[in-house]
Homo-oligomer: A and B are copies of this chain.
């Protein structure tokens, strides 16, 4: 039964995590599987930082700092303060509670666990009932080619505050990279999926690194399950993050049409905001089913409603 079939969500950080939280609350326990962008991952202070994965699990567990959308609420900063005093790097804001999770990750990786098994361990420790994992266990990292040189995503985004002008985005992909075991299993039986959902995440910085995992693009392209995207662009800008700035610098019009065409062949339906209704005709001409909704998620009700909408669309396809 499709109503019990698994749902695969592809997610970046803050925006994607909000829809993931809605989906987790709408879907029966065990139905939701979330493949996270690893393009932002990086080594820092001897730790492996997985910003998007962590944002998703903190959001799902309710531990997230809701004001900023990432990191933990009730956080303290003793370690980072001392790192700074010792002359170490403090530009990446790792709170004490966040560091605790990173130490567990580091220990598990040192013990030989794969990144996705570590993900399962952390989901379990946070009491999550859905499955969240990296799109790949191997290295797939985003490189921002800018007028300041080639930067890792977090150098660009956090350290340099998106100031450098983007010239191109590429991915540093391990030659052995392949989809995570869980993702591979879901895609092998992709016709049985209730839906593949592209969460509202930056197409260039969050979805593209997932699609850069070898075979993923072709397999999603060939899948016959409902494939639904929620636009991360509303009224000519992005809700959060550098999407709009980067699109402008890459000379791409900031609208849902650019977004949809970027995912050409990968999606069947697109959910856009009411205020972008002007694009419906063109999007439909591209062969997409288009749904105009209120897609800004400012509170838990918004997340739930949008998740229900997305699942209703999937069931109707």
Contacts and interface: CB of A to CB of B under 8 A. Distances in A.
Contact of A78 (B43, B87, B97): B97
A134 to B, nearest CB: 18
Contacts of A45: 103-104, 106-107
A316 to B, nearest CB: 41
A110 B46 contact: yes
A126 B86 CA distance: 7
Contact of A83 (B80, B104, B126): B104
Given A88-B103, A103-B88, A125-B87, A110 B43 contact: yes
Interface residues of A, number: 30
B110 A86 contact: no
A99 B105 CA distance: 15
Interface string A68-92: 0000000010111111011110000
Nearest to A46: B106
Chain A interface mostly helix, strand, loop or mixed? helix
B86 A104 contact: yes
Given A83-B100, A100-B83, A107 B88 contact: yes
A232 B82 CA distance: 34
Contacts of A83: 100, 103-104
Contacts of A107: 44-46, 88
Contacts of A100: 78-83, 85-86, 88
A96 interface: yes
A292 interface: no
A168 interface: no
Interface of A: 43-47, 76, 78-83, 85-88, 96-97, 99-101, 103-107, 109-110, 125-126
**A-B interface, 7 closest residue pairs, ranked by CB to CB distance from nearest:** A46-B106, A82-B100, A78-B96, A46-B107, A45-B103, A82-B97, A83-B100
30 contacts: A43-B110, A45-B106, A45-B107, A46-B103, A46-B104, A46-B105, A46-B106, A47-B103, A76-B76, A76-B78, A78-B97, A78-B100, A79-B79, A79-B96, A79-B97, A79-B99, A79-B100, A79-B103, A80-B100, A82-B97, A83-B100, A83-B103, A83-B104, A86-B104, A86-B125, A88-B103, A88-B107, A96-B96, A99-B103, A106-B106
